């Protein structure tokens, strides 16, 4: 099957081309030259009053009596922050009502973004959209050199959208600088995260030994300054490959954790498969289907109960499932209805 990272992490700009994907025919030197010409127009690299206020805004917000500090990253336009993405925010706040969520996003740190989030803000939930400042996020980390090399045209950005790479980088840097929980925007959050510390979840386990094989970076829980985050950032910067899907994301986490995960003092927890990825991208289609028989209805009941008891969240693999219809009575429909706040009827879009 097609690589899941390729499917899932592509930026979804609709009919508007992703400005951070180079023309496919360019080779290394051509991509570097292309990027240099594009750099002045790429908003994510620009310094503005809003971006320069990033650190102060996050610090001020994080002292707002947060039970847990959550982060999400949204580098796409606000117009495609769809109901499925809003669902992740909604279920997060339902399961963790006394927590704070920072949405790292230039496009959501706008009037349009405020309008999107207003229904939850009006209910008193602590959510802040804030424009990222790449320079301050990577300052005094191994990734600082990488960012300079990319901007100076000394590093091949690769053929994959740089948005994907920046998302992989930002989640690591923000946890290293501030600590907390990072989540992708394609989760149904099912439980309170209280009690989780310095934890990663696997997306694949060995069927014979039940030991983890591949980790995923869609959900990360770390204390501020945790040493393995430094290791991740160093690996990202030194082995960066913008031409191989997942190399700087899940596979990077997997490489580093295999190498240093048992280091004394790291106190790293590798959770079970059920924590965040109880179903993979091949199997998940069944979770959207309405049960047609008594046996299927029993399976839905058992699955909903098991997920509610064992999983912190269900990763939806949005790149694959975004266009799936959520059938009434399906596992996904049942979970949404029991974990939503506003409970809109538009999660199919």
Cα–Cα distance, 339 to 34 (Å, whole number): 46
Mean residue pLDDT across the chain: 92
Tell me which architecture the domain covering 28-275 has in CATH: Alpha-Beta Complex (3.90)
190, 307 in Cβ contact below 8 A?
A: yes
Tokens of 154: 């000394």
Per-residue model confidence (pLDDT) at position 346: 62
* Positive or negative: CA dihedral 224, 226, 228, 233: positive
pLDDT tens for 6-61 read: 444 443 444 456 888 999 899 999 999 999 999 998 888 988 999 999 999 999 99
pLDDT tens for 179-238 read: 999 999 999 999 999 999 999 999 999 888 889 999 999 999 999 999 999 999 999 999
Question: Exposure of 260 by Cβ count < 10 A (0-12 exposed, 13-18 middle, 19+ buried)?
Answer: middle
Is the confidence at residue 347, as pLDDT, over 80? no
266, 178 in Cβ contact below 8 A?
A: no
Cα–Cα distance, 322 to 325 (Å, whole number): 8
pLDDT tens for 306-331 read: 999 999 999 999 888 988 999 999 99
Nearest to 183 by CA among 88, 65, 59, 277: 88
């Amino acid at each position: 099957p097609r690589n899941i990272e390729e499917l899932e992490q592509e930026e979804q700009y609709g009919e508007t081309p992703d400005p951070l994907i180079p023309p496919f025919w360019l080779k290394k030197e051509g991509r570097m030259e292309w990027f240099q010409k594009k750099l002045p127009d790429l908003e994510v690299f620009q310094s503005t009053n809003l971006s320069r206020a990033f650190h102060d805004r996050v610090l001020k917000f994080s002292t707002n009596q947060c039970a847990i500090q959550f982060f999400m990253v949204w580098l796409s336009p606000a117009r495609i922050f769809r109901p499925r993405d809003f669902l992740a925010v909604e279920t997060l706040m339902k399961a963790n009502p006394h927590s704070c969520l920072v949405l790292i996003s230039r496009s959501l740190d706008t009037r349009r973004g405020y309008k999107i989030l207003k229904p939850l803000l009006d209910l008193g939930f602590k959510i802040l959209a804030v424009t990222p400042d790449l320079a301050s996020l990577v300052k005094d980390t191994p990734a600082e050199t990488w960012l300079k090399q990319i901007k100076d045209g000394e590093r091949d950005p690769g053929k994959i959208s740089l948005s994907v790479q920046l998302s992989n980088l930002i989640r690591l840097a923000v946890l290293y600088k501030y600590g907390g929980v990072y989540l992708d925007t394609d989760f149904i959050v099912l439980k309170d995260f209280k009690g989780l510390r310095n934890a990663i979840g696997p997306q694949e386990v060995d069927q014979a030994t039940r030991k983890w094989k591949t980790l995923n970076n869609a959900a990360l829980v770390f204390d501020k300054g945790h040493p393995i985050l430094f290791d991740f950032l160093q690996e990202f910067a030194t082995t960066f490959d913008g031409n191989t899907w997942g190399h700087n994301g899940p596979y990077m986490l997997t490489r580093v954790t295999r190498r240093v995960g048992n280091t004394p003092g790291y106190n790293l927890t590798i959770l079970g498969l059920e924590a965040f990825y109880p179903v993979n991208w091949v199997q998940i289609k069944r979770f959207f289907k309405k049960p047609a028989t008594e046996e299927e209805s029993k399976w839905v009941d058992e699955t909903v109960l098991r997920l509610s008891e064992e999983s912190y969240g269900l990763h939806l693999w949005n790149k694959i499932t975004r266009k799936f219809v959520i059938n009434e009575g399906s596992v996904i429909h049942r979970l949404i209805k029991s974990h939503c706040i506003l409970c809109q009827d538009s999660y199919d879009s």
